[in-house]
Amino acid sequence: MIFEHPLGGRMPPDACFLQAALMEAGDGDYLEVGVYNGDSLLFAGLVKRALGHTGKLYGIDIDETKQMLIEETLAFHNIEAEVVYKSSNPWPLPDVRPVVCYIDGSHSYDGVSADWNNLKGRAGKFIVMHDYTCNEHVTKFIDGLIKAPDPNWRFCGYSRYTVVWERNVGQEYRGRFREE
C-alpha cells in the first residue's frame, strides 16, 4: 500500500508512520537507534525541516565504517545530526530526551528489549519500532509488549514492518496510525 504524502508525492506506509509521529510530536529532538546508511535519519530531518519543527537529530550505530557515507548523505541535503558510533547498551546519550525515537538497531530479542527499556523513560511522545513481522526476535518482543503493555505507553498500530507507541497521557488515542 502506498499513501499520499501531505508534502507532495507518495511513499510506503512505514515512512508514513514515522512521518506521522514526527508531525504529531511537533518541536523536539529525534533519536534513532540503528542508523545503517542514514536514510531514515535523513528522512526525519527533511520532514522536520519541511514542517518547520525545531529540534536536534541524534543517531546511534555500532558500524563506524558507515560514518563517511552517513555524513556525506546528510551534508548533501544540509541536514545536521549527531551520530554516536557505539552500542546502544549501555546507553551512550544519557542527557538526550527526544520527542520521537526510532528503534531499528540490534535485531536480537535482548537488543530490542534493551533499546525499548533505555528509551521508554526518555522518549517524550512516540517510540517507532521497525522490522516487526520480518524479524522473528523483533516480532516476539513486540508481540509480548502488545500482550502485556507498559502502562506508560499505548500501542497505536502497525503497518507492515513498523509499530508505533504513544506515551500514555490519559487521553483517548485519536487513530492516526491505523492503516485503512
Q: The pTM is what?
A: 0.89
Examine residue 112 and state whether it is found in any structural domain, yes or no.
yes
pLDDT tens digits, residue range 84-112? 999 999 999 999 999 999 999 999 999 99
DSSP letters, the chain, are --EE-TTSSEE-HHHHHHHHHHHHH-SS-EEEE--TTSHHHHHHHHHHHHHT----EEEE-S-GGGHHHHHHHHHHTT---EEE-S-SSS-S-TT---SEEEE-S--SHHHHHHHHHHHTTT-SSEEEEE-TTTSHHHHHHHHHHHHS--TTEEEEEEETTEEEEEE--SS----TT---
Confidence of residue 170 (pLDDT cuts 50, 70, 90): low
What pLDDT score was predicted for residue 180? 41
pLDDT classification of 3: cutoffs 50, 70, 90: very low
Q: Is residue 141 part of a domain?
A: yes
Any domain includes 11: yes
pLDDT tens digits, one per residue of 33-88: 999 999 999 999 999 999 999 999 999 999 999 999 999 999 999 999 999 999 99
Domain with residue 17: its CATH number is 3.40.50.150
Q: What is the pLDDT of residues 133-165, one digit of tens each?
A: 999 999 999 999 999 989 999 998 888 889 999
pLDDT band per the 50, 70, 90 thresholds, residue 173? very low
Within a domain: 1: no
| Residue 36 in domain | yes
pLDDT of 72 reads 96
**Residue 124 resides in a domain:** yes
Domain count, the chain: 1
User: Is residue 63 included in any domain, yes or no?
Assistant: yes
> Does 9 score more than 60 pLDDT?
no
Confidence class for position 176, pLDDT limits 50, 70, 90: low
Q: What is the pLDDT of residue 114?
A: 97
| 172 found inside a domain | no
State which residues form the domain around 32: 7-167
